[in-house]
Chains A and B, each alone.
Chain A
Amino acid sequence: GDSVTQTEGLVTLTKGLPVMLNCTYQTTYSPFLFWYVQHLNEAPKLLLKSSTDNKRTEHQGFYATLHKSSSSFHLQKSSVQLSDSALYFCALSDDTNTGKLTFGDGTVLTVKP
């Protein structure tokens, strides 16, 4: 079956530093990848999405590129802010009819002053 792996459970950084959150996936279908961000006591919100190979997608200073050759969709930002502290999920979809969105375990990003 489909799977998503996020290798970092917790990332702690100082404000202004760059960050990369890893996401790799496995699927036998054509992948559609998503990054969701969830702030404390809130619902997850879409941050980025892509199904196009080797094309960078950006939103709110975050960016990611889907690389089908390496089955990866890493999330990056050049300079993190305190407000970026949140739980980040990578997710994989290959069948929208059933809503079978497979989520990774999530990465908690904590940004310190």
Chain B
Amino acid sequence: AQTIHQWPVAEIKAVGSPLSLGCTIKGKSSPNLYWYWQATGGTLQQLFYSITVGQVESVVQLNLSASRPKDDQFILSTEKLLLSHSGFYLCAFYGGANAETLYFGSGTRLTVL
């Protein structure tokens, strides 16, 4: 079975501080991995995607960066947080019989003060 794990579950950080969020997927080789962001009660915005180790594509510019250091790992980070970074961050991968369905991790709730 394919599983996706995100860490941490929640973070409260100060403006200007650094951030690192992680995501690990098990049970699927060479997965396409994605980072999404959701404002409270808002829609889901794709931030980054990665098809292979070492390669990451940016979809929107939010003063965030992402890296794919291992086949099963996807990292989201920034050196300086902004208030606007608050929200719910979700890692996702494609699964299903034809790999057509996007499955999300449990998410990280980020509050920037």
- Where the two chains meet, the residues of A that have a C-beta atom closer than 8 Å to any C-beta of B are 32, 34, 41-46, 49, 51, 87, 89, 91, 93, 96-101, 103-106, 108
Interface residue? B7 (CB, 8 A): no
- When C-beta atoms are compared, the residue in chain B nearest to A100 turns out to be B46
A97-B32, A98-B57 known; A43+B49 contact, CB < 8 A: no
Could you tell me if B104 and A96 are in contact, using CB atoms closer than 8 angstroms?
Answer: no
Within 41-100 of B, Cβ neighbours of A (below 8 Å) are at 41-44, 46, 49, 51, 57, 90, 92, 94, 99-100
Give the A-B contact count at a CB cut-off of 8 A.
55
Assign chain B's interface to a size class: 20 to 34
A-B contact pairs, 27 of them (CB 8 A): A32-B100, A34-B102, A42-B107, A43-B105, A43-B106, A44-B90, A44-B104, A45-B104, A46-B102, A87-B41, A89-B43, A96-B32, A96-B100, A97-B32, A98-B49, A98-B51, A98-B57, A99-B32, A99-B34, A99-B49, A99-B94, A101-B46, A103-B43, A105-B42, A105-B43, A106-B42, A106-B43
